[in-house]
Structure 1
Amino acid sequence: MNQLDTLIHMANQIADNNSHYGTQEEAAIRVAAHLKKFWARSMKQQIIAYLQQDGSNLTPLAQTAITQMQASLRPEPANLCD
């Protein structure tokens, strides 16, 4: 299993573990918060890129959460010295 497969598996597990919290939207918010708080930037970037390119192995809840997480991440600051 490569790193991306591991991230997909982990995202789906986190989504499954939180799927019973309220509505689907509330569950997605919890999953997105978990990913944002505990995943390294490189992990977040990799799972976001996967969702944008394919995402077919992610559960619908994981897809929604990753989309929410992506929207909540701050853009990288511009280098003002250029």
Structure 2
Amino acid sequence: MTKESTTHLVKMINQIAANCPFQGDPAAVTEATTNHIHKFWAHSMKEDIVAYLESGGEGLSPAAVEAIRALDADLRPTR
């Protein structure tokens, strides 16, 4: 994973979480963001963002962190 691709993934997931229509309901933001990632991101992108969080996750918003944790829990059985 290159620094550029990581920066792009961080920017995208932060934007997805920030633009979620369920602001004010953290659980709904997590669910909507996670669902969006499941639908529209390639498996390799999902694995990369999970690995990035595991390595510290600098620059990720709190909502993005929660969505990645939920994503990771969903991905674990297939890892």
Q: TM tier, shorter chain?
A: 0.7 to 0.9
Amino acid at match of 1:9: K
Q: Which residue of 1 aligns with 2:48?
A: 46
Correspondence 1:1-82 to 2 at 5 A: 2-18=4-20, 20-21=21-22, 23-73=25-75, 75-76=77-78
Q: Which has the higher helix share?
A: 2
Give TM-score, length-normalised by structure 1: 0.84
Give TM-score, length-normalised by structure 2: 0.87
Q: Which runs of 5+ in 2 are unaligned?
A: none
Q: Which runs of 5+ in 1 are unaligned?
A: 78-82
Deviations 1:23-58 (A, max 9, x none): 111111000010011100010000000001111210
- The root-mean-square deviation of aligned C-alpha atoms, in Å, is 1.7
Task: Please report how far the alpha carbon of residue 74 of structure 1 lies from its aligned counterpart in structure 2 after TM superposition.
Answer: 5.5
- Count matched residues: 76
Which protein shows a greater Rg? 1
